Amino acid sequence: MNSLVATSRNFRQAARILGLDSKLEKSLLIPFREIKVECSIPRDDGSLASFVGFRVQHDNARGPMKGGIRYHPEVELDEVNALAQLMTWKTAVVDIPYGGAKGGIGCSPRDLSKSELERLTRVFTQKIHDLIGTHTDVPAPDMGTNAQTMAWILDEYSKFHGHSPAVVTGKPIDLGGSLGREAATGRGVVFATDALLGEYGKSIQGLTFAIQGFGNVGSWAAKLIHESGGKIVAIGDVSGTIRNRNGLDIHQLLKHKAEGGLLKDFTGGDAMDPDELLVHECDVLIPCALGGVLHRENAASVKAKYIIEAANHPTDPEADEILSKKGVVVLPDIYANAGGVTVSYFEWVQNIQGFMWHEEKVNLELQRYMKTAFRNIKDMCISHGCNLRMGAFTLGVSRVARATLLRGWEA
Ligand SMILES: NC(=O)C1=CN([C@@H]2O[C@H](COP(=O)(O)OP(=O)(O)OC[C@H]3O[C@@H](n4cnc5c(N)ncnc54)[C@H](OP(=O)(O)O)[C@@H]3O)[C@@H](O)[C@H]2O)C=CC1
Ligand SMILES: O=C(O)CCC(=O)C(=O)O
């Protein structure tokens, strides 16, 4: 199912549960602004290459719009719209003073040199600089982008507006980035997993995990789960998928990758069919890569008892229904991966204060936000008799709806 149709379907279900007025429902669904720009750059060989960049600003009722920028060949407007909408509900779920936005460029970053990526990022920033800003819309990294990408955006933006460190988060530490931001999404995933498992009298220690994706989110989640005594029995990225029924040594795998090795060539595990990863025998499945990977064709075969949505929108609504009938508990993306934007908020606060926090404070505050949000979601589940996804959606949507009504519509 198209990601925008799927996300909007979840929103409408939450609006029905909350009994939202239909005009308010429509106003919350329509994005504030959609930006589509052409980005042409000279390639290193002198030829011209053209790309399409997007920034969708979904809602700003609760504060500046916030969300990552993705570089991936499948980036297109509907998907960016869906991801921007998810950011609006996500920032509200963890109760940070932001709205939602998302951006992206349809490109394959692995096929571009570092200087081509820099040129592309600078051209994109030139096209959108007057529509983003510290108090309007604050980008951050997502798939295919990283702290270096944010440094280029900061530099290009500052040429127009003067030095503005708080215009992006997820920056390098030397440019005002926050300690703990790089690990934050993965760390938040682990706090979220702890909170969920605690409800069932379980803990990470001794459980088995399968993880799809070993980039920023997947590698940090895997490392922290490994260090908490969880056994990662299967993991995969674009290069391939590996398994080890006794548990993969994630520290060794990180070392292997840092030395330039491909995940598929790691000798501490056996190669397996990537399609089998999501239906591999395990207690907890954590998708940390693309959206829409759990769908009606594979959902019935999932063996995990718990799914932690570290990726954005990994589960199609049809898969959601199948999983629910099977009794699989799904911890939704707008909570499970909210650690990244929560520490982005801490970074923005530090930049505005001009004061840097210790990493311990960042991690403790993150844990506090994640624990509070989990309790708030559970309260919504109890009040409305709904599952965790609808608990999170009703929590996020009700907070945004209240802010919208309080601000009013008078011209
Ligand atoms: N970064 C952040 O702070 C946040 C990210 N997210 C979400 O988490 C997910 C991952 O983001 P992030 O870790 O930042 O992205 P990265 O680009 O750092 O990593 C993406 C990972 O996914 C792998 N991957 C891509 N396609 C496939 C595929 N078809 N099968 C298996 N693996 C695949 C990549 O493999 P390879 O390395 O081989 O390319 C890589 O390991 C996304 O859905 C993103 O929206 C959510 C909240 C915050
Ligand atoms: O850190 C941020 O601002 C946004 C992270 C993001 O894109 C996400 O949560 O999906």
Any domain includes 2: no
Residue type, 347: E
Q: What is the rounded CA–CA span in Å between residue 49 and residue 117?
A: 12
Q: For residue 17, how far is its CA from the centre of ligand 1 (angstroms)?
A: 32
208 and 277 share one domain: yes
Tell the residue nearest (CA) to atom 1 of ligand 2: 341
Look at the chain and report how many structural domains it folds into: 2
157 and 294 share one domain: no
User: Which residue ranges of the chain lie beneath pLDDT 50?
Assistant: none
Q: What pTM was computed for the model?
A: 0.98
The token pair that represents 321 in the structure block: 């229904």
Query: So what's the pLDDT on residue 409?
Result: 80
Determine if ligand 1 sits within 6 Å of the CB of residue 241. Answer: no
Any domain includes 206: yes
237 and 293 share one domain: yes
Q: Domain ends where: 120, 153, 177?
A: 177
Q: For residue 143, how far is its CA from the centre of ligand 1 (angstroms)?
A: 5
Q: List the CATH number of the domain containing 208.
A: 3.40.50.720
* Ligand 1 binding pocket mutation candidate from 89, 223, 237 (most atoms within 8 A of CB): 237
Q: List the CATH number of the domain containing 73.
A: 3.40.50.10860
Hey, how many other C-beta atoms are within 10 angstroms of the C-beta on 323?
A: 20
The token pair that represents 264 in the structure block: 């598929």
Cβ 377 vs Cβ 391: under 8 Å: yes
Any domain includes 164: yes
Determine if ligand 2 sits within 6 Å of the CB of residue 109. Answer: no
Determine if ligand 2 sits within 6 Å of the CB of residue 103. Answer: no
Any domain includes 315: yes
Catalytic option among 102, 171, 223, 231: 102
- Nearest 5°: phi and psi at 142? -145, -160
52 and 135 share one domain: yes
229 and 266 share one domain: yes
236 and 310 share one domain: yes
Q: What is the rounded CA–CA span in Å between residue 277 and residue 134?
A: 40
Q: Which ligand is nearest to the CA of 289?
A: 1
Residue type, 3: S
Q: Domain ends where: 147, 177, 207?
A: 177
Tell the residue nearest (CA) to atom 39 of ligand 1: 238
Q: Which residues are annotated as a binding site for substrate?
A: 66, 90, 344
Instruction: Kindly give the pairing relationship between strand 100-106 and strand 137-141.
Output: unpaired
Q: For residue 246, how far is its CA from the centre of ligand 2 (angstroms)?
A: 34
153 and 184 share one domain: no
Any domain includes 269: yes
Q: Which atom of ligand 1 is nearest to 239's Cα? A: 38
| Residue entry with tokens 């009700």 | 398
Any domain includes 18: no
Q: Is 102 a catalytic residue?
A: yes
Q: Domain ends where: 177, 199, 217?
A: 177
Determine if ligand 2 sits within 6 Å of the CB of residue 85. Answer: no
| pLDDT tens profile 96-108 | 999 999 999 999 9
User: Could you tell me which residues are beta bridge partners of residue 51?
Assistant: 39
Q: How far is CA 313 from the centre of its chain?
A: 9
Q: Residue 383: give the domain boundaries.
A: 178-351+364-411
215 and 289 share one domain: yes
Cβ 317 vs Cβ 140: under 8 Å: no
Sheet holding 48-59, edge to edge: 33-42, 48-59, 100-106, 65-72, 137-141
Q: What is the rounded CA–CA span in Å between residue 19 and residue 13?
A: 10
Any domain includes 197: yes
232 and 343 share one domain: yes
| pLDDT tens profile 374-408 | 999 999 999 999 999 999 999 999 999 999 999 99
Determine if ligand 1 sits within 6 Å of the CB of residue 342. Answer: no
52 and 102 share one domain: yes
Query: So what's the pLDDT on residue 270?
Result: 98
Q: How far is CA 89 from the centre of its chain?
A: 12
265 and 146 share one domain: no
Query: So what's the pLDDT on residue 24?
Result: 96
66 and 134 share one domain: yes
Any domain includes 280: yes
Query: So what's the pLDDT on residue 1?
Result: 84
Its ipTM equals 0.99
Residue type, 353: Q
